[in-house]
Structure 1
Amino acid sequence: MSTELGCSTRTIQRDLEVLEFAGVPWYIDASDKSYRVRSDFRFPTLMLTHDETIGQVIATALTNASGLDIGPGASPTTRKLAATSNDEIQQIIADAARIIEVFDLKLVDHSQHHGIIRTLQSALLEGNKVTGRYDSPYEDKTLRLTIHPYRLCLIKQAWYVIGHIEGETRAKTFRVARFKTARQLEQAALIPDQFDLREHFGNAWSVYRGDTSYDIRLRFEPQAARVVTETVWHHTQEVKQNRDGSATLSFTVDGLDEILNWILSWSGKVRVDAPNELRVLLVQTLEKAIQIHSESDSE
């Protein structure tokens, strides 16, 4: 055995003593001249509570969601737990996996970006720069960037990496699905010690922070009020229930473009009370939509 393993007999004896000290019951199998662990022995595993076990299954369901595309996710860990746990935990894992699913998150398609996500994860863990080609819809041509990555974040429906471009200092937000290539460099990234993700995004409605802060006040009709108030849409959200069944939602938002898109989804059920700039933008956008459909009808 020592010859086959390329070690000394003393090393094998020491390993056997360690197993014995750890309470692992081994024996000599004379039929094939080997050492074996008793078949009824289970190696120690994490002692999970019911809630912790269900939490692991939920994590597995989330990381398996279509569009998330972060590799194997939590599945391998859950399988290992099931293989080494007692019968009760195994049954909980099996039952929870059968009844818990994550469905139709409407995420950006990251199926072609497995390698890029892994590259960014590795660079962040090792603290290195990343270089690659980035195709922004707001630029005339594909950009070649070298970035110092700070964070990888799932925001709304997409993965984003936050960091600054080589030669600059201001942190920017890059959508992962817009990277055409990404390669980790063997060069240390400069990451601010005091970087704060909440401070970076400020009061952006979603991802991109505008230069101007606005106090938003929206009045939702009674038929929409109960539905819209079920969700916390923004960390600055305040809700006032009105006597007529309507609800007034207030926010403080940096920039208007992102919240405008959200308000449009409630068209016919919401009125913009403030600010006037947002009301004008909403009317202009709705008028443009009517114009497009009117032109379509005339054709």
Structure 2
Amino acid sequence: MSDLERLHRIKYMIQARKCVPIQDFLEELEISKATFKRDLEYLRDRMNASIIFDRSEGGYRFDKPNSGEKIELPGLWFSEKEVTALVLMQHLLSGLDKGGLIEPHIAPLTSIIDGILGQSNTPAKELRKRLKVFGMSSRKSSIESFEEVGNALLTRKRLHITYYARGKDETTEREISPQRLIFYRDNWYLDAYCHLRNDLRSFAVDCIGKVIITNIKADEISEKQLHEHFAESYGIFSGKAIQRCKLKFSPEKARWVSAETWHGQQVGTFDKEGNYLLEFDYNQDPELVMDILKHGAGVEVLAPASLRKRVQDELLKALSNY
């Protein structure tokens, strides 16, 4: 029996029998008194298990009735390698969330994970020191707004919000039915049905101002409708796809682009010269134009003509500013 399995057994023996004499632990787990004392100290100090010795009953029990039901000791289900993976995952989430929205909620996990790794040869702090995550385009958002949005998502209630649209430089009041939260390009977005526009919209969480959870039940949009509106086109602000984009990347750029996913239903092929031809559907082009321009002379827009002209105009505009 591994150390983790034994700790798990101690917890459930007390949970099942309410009060357990030390001799029962020693016999059933086949351990010494010293090992039991060490395990007990670990459960108390690292897992916050309120286990006490009751002299009147002659055994160990939880300090408060039913408190054992709240101590799930989730880490005890994992091997040390799996817990190491948890450390990396937790640190990765913290690093991605540069806006600071979910960090306060996952921070308590850090102490628990560190406790589980306490008997490992790979300290959690050492792992975190050697993993760096950079979010280059994250924007600061309100934790209060984020929590209200999350609450409405779970309780399936409509939200009354004020929303600042950067493109139009205007603020509007809207009532929306939240559908799902999206973490996209280092920022949070809310997919919702907008009752002002009578259509599906994506709202940048950092642009949501005042938030009020109403008592009105949120309208439910099917997964099929959400997919058709948000997933068939390019980018997050797309809408239903109405155009087909065709791009040709040079052999040099192809080494990177051919391994990337620009769209869930993209089609990519190589021609005889080693150029990479990429096709996918889209609706709006601002985000697409931005990604095309990143590749400079290494990409050519083959179709549609309107997208090709838009990219040319942006290049000419950039040159005129020099």
TM-score category (smaller protein)? 0.7 to 0.9
2:111 maps to which of 61, 68, 79: 79
In the alignment, residue 242 of structure 1 is paired with which amino acid?
Answer: D
1:201 maps to which of 227, 230, 255: 230
2:136 maps to which of 103, 106, 124: 106
Residue aligning to 1:9:
none
Residue aligning to 1:27:
53
Residue aligning to 2:209:
180
Mapping of residues 52-201 of structure 1, within 5 Å: 52-65=82-95, 66-84=98-116, 87-88=119-120, 91=122, 93-102=124-133, 104-110=134-140, 112-139=141-168, 141-166=170-195, 169-194=198-223, 197-201=226-230
In the alignment, residue 88 of structure 2 is paired with which amino acid?
Answer: I
Whether 1:49 and 2:63 are equivalent positions in the alignment is no
Q: Call closer, same or farther: CA 1:203–1:85 in 2, change over 3 Å.
A: same
SS at match of 2:292: helix
Mapped to 2, the partners of 1:82 and 1:211 lie a distance apart of 46
Q: Measure how far apart 1:37 and its partner are.
A: 6.9
Q: Measure how far apart 1:286 and its partner are.
A: 1.6
Mapped to 1, the partners of 2:240 and 2:186 lie a distance apart of 23
Q: Call closer, same or farther: CA 1:54–1:77 in 2, change over 3 Å.
A: same
Residue aligning to 2:296:
267
Mapped to 1, the partners of 2:284 and 2:172 lie a distance apart of 25
Question: 1:125-150 deviations in whole A, cap 9, x for unaligned?
Answer: 11122212111124463111221111
Residue aligning to 1:18:
18
Question: 1:214-261 deviations in whole A, cap 9, x for unaligned?
Answer: 222211122222122232222122222233332222222223332112
Mapped to 2, the partners of 1:191 and 1:241 lie a distance apart of 43
C-alpha RMSD of matched pairs (Å): 3.4
Q: Measure how far apart 1:118 and its partner are.
A: 0.9
2:257 maps to which of 228, 234, 240: 228
Residue aligning to 1:292:
321
From the two aligned structures, give the one with the greater helix fraction: 2
Q: Measure how far apart 1:182 and its partner are.
A: 1.3
**Structure 1: which 5+ runs fail to align?**
1-13, 294-299
Q: Measure how far apart 1:202 and its partner are.
A: 3.4
In the alignment, residue 97 of structure 1 is paired with which amino acid?
Answer: R
- What percent of counterpart residues are identical? 20
Range moving further from structure 2, 253-262 or 148-157 = 253-262
In the alignment, residue 240 of structure 1 is paired with which amino acid?
Answer: T
SS at match of 1:91: coil
In the alignment, residue 77 of structure 2 is paired with which amino acid?
Answer: M
Range moving further from structure 2, 216-225 or 17-26 = 17-26
In the alignment, residue 127 of structure 2 is paired with which amino acid?
Answer: A
SS at match of 2:77: coil
Check the 8 A contact 2:19/2:60 in 1, yes or no: no
Check the 8 A contact 1:43/1:84 in 2, yes or no: no
Q: Measure how far apart 1:113 and its partner are.
A: 0.9
Q: Measure how far apart 1:51 and its partner are.
A: 5.0
Check the 8 A contact 2:247/2:300 in 1, yes or no: yes
Mapped to 1, the partners of 2:113 and 2:241 lie a distance apart of 50
Question: 1:120-178 deviations in whole A, cap 9, x for unaligned?
Answer: 11111111222121111244631112211111111223211111233664221111111
Whether 1:276 and 2:300 are equivalent positions in the alignment is no
Check the 8 A contact 1:60/1:73 in 2, yes or no: no
Range moving further from structure 2, 122-131 or 178-187 = 178-187
Q: Call closer, same or farther: CA 1:51–1:190 in 2, change over 3 Å.
A: farther
Q: TM-score, normalised by structure 1?
A: 0.76
Q: Runs ≥4 in structure 1, deviation > 6 angstroms?
A: 21-25, 35-38
SS at match of 1:148: strand
Q: Call closer, same or farther: CA 1:16–1:174 in 2, change over 3 Å.
A: closer
SS at match of 2:307: helix
Range moving further from structure 2, 90-99 or 65-74 = 90-99
Question: 1:168-193 deviations in whole A, cap 9, x for unaligned?
Answer: 64221111111122122233222235
Range moving further from structure 2, 228-237 or 64-73 = 64-73
